[in-house]
Amino acid sequence: GDGGPDGGIVPLTLSANPPKVLVGLIPAAKELEKLRKTLKRTTEITMADVVALAGAEAIETAGGPRLVVQLGKGETKSSSKPTPSNVGSLPDLSGRGNRSDVIAAFRRAGLTERDVAIFFGIRVAVEKVVENVVNVEEEPQEVNEMGESDVSFPSSFGGPKEKYGKQIGQLDKAIFVSILAGAKQKDTNIPDVFYDTTVADCAQAYAKKKTDFVKDLREAYGSWMSLGAQYTGGGILLFDSNY
Q: Supply the pLDDT for residue 181.
A: 96
- Give the DSSP per-residue string, 203-242: HHHHHH-HHHHHHHHHHHHHHHHHTT--B-S--EEE----
Do 167 and 133 form a contact (C-beta atoms < 8 A)? no
Give the closest residue to 80 by CA, choosing from 102, 48, 52. 48
Do 61 and 165 form a contact (C-beta atoms < 8 A)? yes
Q: Per-residue pLDDT averaged across 174-186, rounded?
A: 94
- Condensed to tens digits (0 to 9), the pLDDT of residues 53-95 reads 999 999 998 888 888 888 787 776 654 555 554 555 688 888 8
Higher pLDDT, 178 or 226: 178
Residues with Cβ within 8 Å of residue 38, at least 6 apart in sequence? none
| Domain parsing of the chain, residue ranges | 9-133+166-238
Please state which of the ranges 113-127, 136-150, 164-178 shows the lowest mean pLDDT: 136-150
- Condensed to tens digits (0 to 9), the pLDDT of residues 215-236 reads 999 999 988 988 865 666 555 4
Task: Give the span between the Cα atoms of 208 and 116, in whole angstroms.
Answer: 18
Do 208 and 133 form a contact (C-beta atoms < 8 A)? no
| Summary mean pLDDT of the chain | 79
Do 124 and 191 form a contact (C-beta atoms < 8 A)? yes
Task: Give the span between the Cα atoms of 105 and 102, in whole angstroms.
Answer: 5
> Per this entry, what is the length of the chain?
243
Q: Is the pLDDT of residue 167 over 70?
A: no
Query: CA of 209: how far to CAs of 80, 119, 180, 196, 204, in Å?
Result: 40, 17, 14, 20, 9
| Ramachandran angles phi, psi of 238, nearest 5° | -100, 110
Q: Is the pLDDT of residue 131 over 90?
A: no
Q: Per-residue pLDDT averaged across 10-28, rounded?
A: 90
Vertex 106: Cα angle to 228 and 59 (nearest 5): 80
Q: Is the pLDDT of residue 141 over 50?
A: yes
Residues with Cβ within 8 Å of residue 43, at least 6 apart in sequence? none
Please state which of the ranges 45-59, 137-151, 163-177, 218-232 shows the lowest mean pLDDT: 137-151
Q: Per-residue pLDDT averaged across 174-195, rounded?
A: 94
Do 97 and 192 form a contact (C-beta atoms < 8 A)? yes
Do 71 and 234 form a contact (C-beta atoms < 8 A)? yes
Vertex 111: Cα angle to 196 and 223 (nearest 5): 135
Vertex 169: Cα angle to 184 and 137 (nearest 5): 125
